[in-house]
Chains A and B, each alone.
Chain A
Amino acid sequence: MAETVLILIVLTNLRLLGASRLGASIRTVAVQGILLGALALLAHGAAPTWGAVAMAVIGMALKGGVFPWLLFRALRQADVQREVEPFVGPIPSLLAGIASFGIAFWLSRRLPLPGGGEGLSLLVAVALFSILAGLFLIVARKKAITQVLGFLVMENGIYAFGVGLVRESPVLVELGVLLDVFVAVFVMGIIIFHINREFEHMDTDELATLKD
């Protein structure tokens, strides 16, 4: 069951790499957040504690509801074109995604787990893949909102890793990650609003006055 959720997460990442509309991208990241909440519940095994359930629900609410709402609001206020505008087109992005998955898989082989079985190695691979995909999105997309989405995907990968592997204080870990993401997205949302108000676009490619 956990394996299916992990593969669905991989599919959402691939969808993000190949997407060309901002609305679809934001919704895909929302779906990924919900899948991660489900993963958090499944990773605890048969009997999750109330704390774990609460954290998973809060996580799903934040990532599936609040963040997309914030980002859609930024989109509406900014009133920009709803296209993704990539540096690297959808097909090369997809191919880069497959290559990243291969690299993540290879890395997960090199990092043997202390006390895990087969399911956990796929978790490491999927987490590393999400991180690589998020980094790729940050680098290969022009619009500020897609860069925030890339950051969210990266944090999702780190969260998946934390959920699966850090046994002793998972609640603290999840809290830390969630707090990090929430504040970062909030602040970034504000900055995007300012960028749009100042420059009347959301194209970070055009933010190029400061250079040597």
Chain B
Amino acid sequence: MLWTLILLPLLAGAAAFALRRGVATRTLLVATAGAHAAMTAAAWMARPAAVLFGWIALDEVGLLFLSITSVLFLAASVYAVGYLRGEHGGDTSERVFTGCLLLFLAAMTVVTLSQHAGLLWVAVEATTLASAPLIYFHRTGRSLEATWKYLLICSVGIALALLGNFFLAVAAGAKPLVFAELGGLKGPWLNAAFLLLLVGYGTKMGLAPLHTWLPDAHSESPSVVSALLSGAVLNCAFVGIVRVQPLCGAFGRDLLVGFGLVSMAIAAVFLLGQADFKRMLAYSSVEHMGILALGVGLGGAGAFGAMLHAVNHSLTKAMLFLVAGNILAFYQTKSAVAIRGVARVLPVSGALWLAGLLAITGSPPFGMFLSEFTILKAALDQNRSVVAVLYLLLLAIIFMAMTTLVLRMAQGDATRPRQRESALAILPPLALGAAALALGLYIPPALETLLRGAAKLLGGA
């Protein structure tokens, strides 16, 4: 079954390059997304067996991130149908777009399923290469600049991660690089390997100060792509770091805490006075990746909080990006100061925009509140008061920065008449938002077991 999960999007992506008519490609996209989601749901019931000598297997961490990716991709593909229909971009670019999207899904699936360090690395590299043409969809000068920065910086990061894998191989000696079998290593090679992997995958994840490609790429690409980049790819890079972290002990955890706080600080600085709302969302992603790193770095209950946070963040951020896409499509500008009265002009999108703001900054009753609170509690339980104080302070600054921007956009008189919003543009973000809200009120036991299992794999509780 695992082979099907990987091969289905791969073959569909290859096929998409050959299809001529737009309708055909869009149907293929949604169908594949639906099939992928269905198979992932089946995997919840009955965990499939490992294949390829245990290199590809589904453990708790893998299932969690696979589910996030699958749900996000389904929502994004439904949204993409409406988006592509409205784009009139021409056959070739739509084919390339759909094909790359499906290949992207295949690569992300492999990342979540991989138990071998080398295979994980190949898959992360594949996501970089598959997403570069997606960022360049609009063929403007700005998107070209963003694509170049993305490609260069992420390739350098991936190259460093490759070196980290080699160092890991040296530290492991004769053992194969399967994560489950790598326990009990120590020495300078292991620490150097972890540092390189952290820096390399951290570049792809968006940890500051390696995040410089993120605001450009996430703001210049089409909103569908931004949603997937923020919601799924950053998580996949996180998976790469998270799998190696248990091998490394305290040294790795302290590094993660440091990177996490730095990311939050840099995001806070750049969010103050931000004028572009998509860049705002991108910096918010940097912040939340910092929170993820902080959670895993704290360990214990923090790891559980980080896993929950990954789910919440992906759902909320994807919803926000899709809504931002609606706003951009209507107003044709990314400048937050030029837009007023979204709540009146685009009622559903405006409501979702406001709800998203509350969610992403960690207000109850949304799920983010729970996960951020759990991480805070973990910090206080470990008597790391400096970390806790900085965490709260930075969260507060980010809340202030983002609220001013979003409220200014949403409120105000309507300068344009009220618009009818197409179902395809509203339903995906609405569904994602509902899920984020639901998770704040009630975590289903199956999910909780999965989260606990994932946290335990990471050395937490």
Touch between A and B in complex, CB under 8 Å?
A: yes
Closest to B171 in A: A114
Are the CB atoms of B122 and A176 closer together than 8 Å? yes
Q: Tell me the bound Cα distance from A172 to B118 in angstroms.
A: 9
Q: Which residues of B contact A176 (CB under 8 A)?
A: 118, 121-122, 162
Are the CB atoms of A158 and B144 closer together than 8 Å? no
Question: Which residue of the partner chain, among A166, A177, A179, A191, contacts B132 with CB atoms under 8 Å?
Answer: A191
Is B417 an interface residue, CB under 8 A from the partner? no
Q: Which residues of A contact B155 (CB under 8 A)?
A: 151, 184, 188
Output the least CB separation between B129 and chain A (Å): 6
Q: Tell me the bound Cα distance from A188 to B129 in angstroms.
A: 10
Are the CB atoms of A212 and B274 closer together than 8 Å? yes
Q: Which residues of A contact B192 (CB under 8 A)?
A: 111
Closest to A199 in B: B141
Q: Tell me the bound Cα distance from A195 to B158 in angstroms.
A: 23
What 1/0 mask marks residues of chain A from 180 to 212 whose CB sits below 8 Å from any chain B CB?
Answer: 100110011001001100110000100101101
Interface segment out of the listed B107-115, B146-154, B242-250, B434-442 = B146-154
Are the CB atoms of B141 and A209 closer together than 8 Å? yes
Is A103 an interface residue, CB under 8 A from the partner? no
Best-surrounded residue of B146, B163, B192 (most CB of chain A within 10 A): B163
Assess A166 versus B159: contact at CB under 8 Å? Given A138-B152, A191-B151, A210-B146.
no
Is A135 an interface residue, CB under 8 A from the partner? yes
Closest to A207 in B: B145
Is B44 an interface residue, CB under 8 A from the partner? no
Instruction: Mark out the residues of chain A between 119 and 138 whose CB falls within 8 Å of any chain B CB in the assembled complex.
Output: 131, 135, 138
Assess A111 versus B188: contact at CB under 8 Å? Given A147-B152, A180-B162, A195-B144.
yes
Instruction: Mark out the residues of chain B between 323 and 380 whose CB falls within 8 Å of any chain A CB in the assembled complex.
Output: none
Are the CB atoms of A212 and B270 closer together than 8 Å? yes
Is B136 an interface residue, CB under 8 A from the partner? yes
Q: Tell me the bound Cα distance from A195 to B364 in angstroms.
A: 46
Q: Tell me the bound Cα distance from A158 to B122 in angstroms.
A: 15
Is B317 an interface residue, CB under 8 A from the partner? no
Majority DSSP secondary structure for residues of B touching A: helix
Q: Which residues of B contact A168 (CB under 8 A)?
A: 169, 174, 176
Q: Tell me the bound Cα distance from A168 to B145 in angstroms.
A: 41
Q: Tell me the bound Cα distance from A179 to B121 in angstroms.
A: 12
Are the CB atoms of B170 and A180 closer together than 8 Å? no
Is A78 an interface residue, CB under 8 A from the partner? no
Output the least CB separation between A194 and chain B (Å): 6
Is B142 an interface residue, CB under 8 A from the partner? yes
Q: Tell me the bound Cα distance from A199 to B121 in angstroms.
A: 34
Q: Tell me the bound Cα distance from A131 to B161 in angstroms.
A: 12
Closest to A181 in B: B159
Assess A212 versus B215: contact at CB under 8 Å? Given A114-B170, A180-B162.
yes
Q: Tell me the bound Cα distance from A8 to B141 in angstroms.
A: 41
Output the least CB separation between A59 and chain B (Å): 15
What 1/0 mask marks residues of chain B from 109 to 145 whose CB sits below 8 Å from any chain A CB?
Answer: 0000000001001100100010010001000011011
Question: Which residue of the partner chain, among B145, B152, B274, contacts A209 with CB atoms under 8 Å?
Answer: B145
Output the least CB separation between A53 and chain B (Å): 22
Q: Tell me the bound Cα distance from A131 to B160 in angstroms.
A: 9
Output the least CB separation between A78 and chain B (Å): 14
Is B189 an interface residue, CB under 8 A from the partner? yes
Is A101 an interface residue, CB under 8 A from the partner? no
Is B41 an interface residue, CB under 8 A from the partner? no
Closest to A115 in B: B173
Q: Which residues of B contact A151 (CB under 8 A)?
A: 152, 155-156, 159
Are the CB atoms of A191 and B148 closer together than 8 Å? yes
Q: Which residues of A contact B125 (CB under 8 A)?
A: 180, 183
Q: Which residues of A contact B141 (CB under 8 A)?
A: 198-199, 209
Are the CB atoms of A135 and B144 closer together than 8 Å? no
Are the CB atoms of A180 and B159 closer together than 8 Å? yes
Are the CB atoms of A210 and B159 closer together than 8 Å? no
Q: Which residues of A contact B189 (CB under 8 A)?
A: 111, 114
Instruction: Mark out the residues of chain B between 24 and 55 whose CB falls within 8 Å of any chain A CB in the assembled complex.
Output: none
Q: Which residues of B contact A155 (CB under 8 A)?
A: 159
Q: Which residues of B contact A179 (CB under 8 A)?
A: 122
Are the CB atoms of B148 and A173 closer together than 8 Å? no
Give me 4 other A-B pairs in contact (C-beta within 8 A), A198-B141, A209-B141, A210-B220 excluded: A161-B166, A183-B129, A195-B144, A210-B219
| 5 tightest Cβ-Cβ pairs between the two chains A and B | A207-B145, A210-B216, A166-B169, A158-B163, A184-B155
Q: List 20 A-B contacts (CB under 8 A).
A: A112-B188, A114-B189, A154-B159, A161-B163, A165-B166, A166-B170, A167-B174, A176-B121, A180-B159, A184-B151, A184-B155, A187-B132, A191-B151, A194-B144, A195-B144, A199-B144, A204-B148, A209-B141, A209-B142, A210-B215
CB within 8 Å of A: which residues of B? 118, 121-122, 125, 129, 132, 136, 141-142, 144-149, 151-152, 155-156, 158-159, 162-163, 166, 169-170, 173-174, 176, 188-189, 192, 215-216, 219-220, 270, 274, 279
